[in-house]
Structure 1
């Protein structure tokens, strides 16, 4: 599958590891091989300001928007932190999703959600260190289609996660 427009989002937290991985020359080479011509990155509270030196890929970035739904809608592939709201938005738009676990967060409830969504076939789950390999080797187009009734699965998972906090 061709991923001409790729959207990366880190949510409201600092997730510099993901931004650094995305703008890495090796990752960009793989994205280009998969057809990427446009890369939009929501950098949140991070300290890394993305810069790429590849004239074949246009780059836009911002910290926050009231809603990222228009970026999700335009994207052919979303690479995202594993926030519940973002995951639901992406899956409701039926877009290919790679969830990247922020393993620097303490008591990271996102891990359970990302792993369960991946286990159910809705997305691919990885860490920043695994992203390069996953982007190169996995077929993001083969994910199970998400329906509005699937939202109840996420609600059940979130209830279980927050019960243990």
Structure 2
């Protein structure tokens, strides 16, 4: 089984470090995840080898592929059995629309804390699981994808109705 971890287009060193940590990797391995793909963005990793453009390594029984950026992460999201992500709105919506199990980790270093607010709201609705860096391994261990409520499909008619109402057409 495959886990895809993404930090988006910025740096989120804490999430990258947590994803490569022994507690997280051992938990993933114990749950049957044998492969982890890590999109690390501009994050710096202590191991010199990980800071190459891309690399593959095995750690704690998990095969790890890591790279900085690709034009699209759509293929990785589609292949993944579990996605762990920063709590950026674009990434969250893309993953939820794919119907993939999603654990989000808001980046507490961002100024306005919007990631925390979005993650919390979507967790209350049952669409994903939100956690902190410190609780990532235990959240993975207790995560039950079957308990996730599917995200509703996009309905463009709602937007067009809103525009029509605002323009006075309705």
TM-score category of the 2 structures, normalised to the smaller one: 0.7 to 0.9
In structure 2, what is the equivalent of residue 99 of structure 1? 104
Deviation at 1:141, TM superposition (A): 3.0
Larger Rg, first or second structure (1 or 2): 2
- In structure 2, stretches of 5+ residues that fail to align are 52-56, 158-170
Q: TM-score, normalised by structure 1?
A: 0.83
Q: What is the SS of the residue equivalent to 1:72?
A: helix
1:128 to 127, 133, 137: 133
1:53 maps to 2:59? yes
Q: TM-score, normalised by structure 2?
A: 0.81
Say whether the 8 Å CA contact 1:88–1:151 is kept in structure 2. no
Q: What is the SS of the residue equivalent to 1:40?
A: strand
Q: Deviations over 1:110-133 (max 9, x none)?
A: 111111110100000011111111
In structure 1, what is the equivalent of residue 17 of structure 2? 20
- In structure 1, stretches of 5+ residues that fail to align are 153-165
RMSD over aligned Cα atoms: 1.9
Deviation at 1:104, TM superposition (A): 1.6
Q: What is the SS of the residue equivalent to 2:16?
A: helix
Structure 1 stretches of 4+ moved >4 Å: none
Q: Deviations over 1:3-28 (max 9, x none)?
A: x1000000011111011111111111
